[in-house]
Structure 1
Amino acid sequence: MPQPAEKVNQFIQEFDSAKNHSEAVKVLERAETYFNLMGDFKVLPFLVNGYMVLWDIEKAEKYNKILLDVDKTGLALYFQAIIETVHGNLFKGIELLRKVRKTASDSFLQFRAFVEELTRLAMAHYYRKMESTLREEDIGTPGKLKERILSLPDNQSLIIDDLFYVYHRFNRYLEAKSFFNTPEGKETLKIIENILSKYLPDTEIDYAMEYDYEDPIKTPYVYVHLKSKYEPDFLEKINKKIIEKIFFERGIDIIIAFIIQKGEAVETAGV
C-alpha cells in the first residue's frame, strides 16, 4: 500500500497530467474520497490548491478551513489570503500575507507571500503601497528588482512571471511619479485632489504612466480608489470637471480611472 506522501504525489502527478477540466476534477474527487476514508491531512494542500486552480473557491475554502486547524507552516494562511482577495477582501488578504511573511516556517513560503502581496497590489493599482512593500525588502529601485528576478532559479517560473509583471508596473508608476513631481505635475495633482476632496472625500489616489509598446504615447493615468459606491453618472460628472480643468484649461492629456474593487480584479468607471 502506498505511503501517504506517495499517495499525494500520485494525485499531484495525475492532476498535472490531466488533459482537460473534467479529468482534473475527477482526480480531485478521488483525492476527496481518499481524505474522507483515510483522514490523511497531507492531501489537504493538494485539494485546496487544486480547487483554486480550477476556480472552485467554495470547495477550496471548505478544505482550507480544515487545513487551518492542523497546519503549522503558514501554508493554510497563505491559501486563505488568496481566497480573501478573490472574495473582494483585498486588504484582509494582504494582512494575512504579511502574517505569513513574518511567521511561516519556510523561507520560500515567506517569499511566495511577498510576491503575492506585490502582485495583488499591482493588479489593484495600489502602486504606492507596492513601492512601500518593495522597500521593506530593500528592493526600492527597478534595478534591484531586476537583480532579484535574475537571481531566481528557472524552476520558479510562476514567481518570475509575477515579478516581471510587478517590474513593469513599478516602472510605469515611477514614470508617473516623476511627472507629478515636476511643477506642472504638482499643480495638476493639486487640482485633481481639490476636486476630489469636494465631491468624493473618501478616496485614495494612485498613478501610472500608461502606454503600449507598439504606440508608445505616454499618458498619465490617475487611479481614484473609491471606498463607497457611486452612480456612474455622478462619477462621469466628476470626471468631466477634472478634464475641463486639466485638459481644456491647461492642455495636459490625462486619464482619470475610478476604481471599484471586485474580487481580485478591478472595474473602472467614468474614464
Structure 2
Amino acid sequence: MNEPTQQPPGSTEAMRRKPDHGEDSYRGSGRLEGKKAIVTGGDSGIGRAVAIAFAREGADVLIAYLSEQDDAQDTAKLVERAGRQCVLVPGDLADRDQCEEVVRRAVEAFGRVDVLVNNAAYQMTHESVEEISDEEWVRTFDINITAMFRLVKAALPHMGRGASIINTSSINSDMPRPTLLPYATTKGAIANFTAGLAQLLGEKGIRVNSVAPGPIWTPLIPSTMPPEQVAEFGKNTPLGRPGEPKEVAPAFVLLASDEASYMSGGLIPVTGGKPIL
C-alpha cells in the first residue's frame, strides 16, 4: 500500500494506513488512578497512545502539541470518553516560554504534576551532512532535548515524592541511523540526560526513566522519510514489521505507576527484537 507523502509533522487523518493507538483494545485497571500527567507530543503517534492508556488507567492528562489540528481534538475526545479531564495546550516547545506555559496550565488545571512524559520530537531525513542546515540542527536539539530540560525545571516545584518523569529516547540512541543524524544525536543525549537526572532527583523520591522505541508507525514516518524508506519501514526488525503506538504505551504506564517504585535511571527498549546494549 502506497502511503501519501505529508509535510511534517504529519497528521493521522492523512495517513492511508492508520496507526493503532489502542482506541479499541486498551483496557485500564486503575493503575494510575487520580494521577495528573503531562504528555508532550500527545496529539498523535506514541503520545496519543500514551494519553489514551493513561486516561483509561485513571489519570487526567494535559496534551502539549505543536499546532491546532484534528489530531489533538480527536485525542482529547478519547481521553474524555474515558471519564478523565483533558487539557490541550498548542505551541512550539522550542520556545522556553511555551515550556513554562505547559507546566503553568497543568498546575492551574490539576494542582500538581505526578507524571511528566517528554515525548515531542522533530526529525528529518538527509543523505549527507552538507544537507543539514545550522537552523535545523539547532531546532532539532531545541525540541528534542532542550525542551525536556526546560519542562523538567518548570515542573519540579510541582512534583512530589513518587512522581515520575518519562523521556522518549529511541533505538537510535544505541544504533544511530546516519540519515537521521541530528535526531539520532539528540536521542543519545536523552538517554544520558535521563540517567544523570535520575541520580540528581533520587533524594527527592522522583523517578526518571526513558523508553526507547524502535520503528513505530506514526505520522512522523510518511512526513519525514522518502517513500522508498516508508515502504520498507520496520521490515528489518526480527519481528519483521513496524510496531504500533499501542505496543509502546504499556511501557509508559508501567513507569508512571507505583508498581515501578524502584525503577529509576533505566531505559526500556520496545524495538521489535533489535537489541539495545
Q: TM-score range by the shorter chain?
A: under 0.3
TM-score by length of 2: 0.27
Identify, as 1 or 2, the structure richer in helix. 1
TM-score by length of 1: 0.27
Considering Cα pairs closer than 8 Å and 6+ residues apart, tell me whether 1 or 2 has the greater RCO: 2
The structure with the larger Rg is: 1
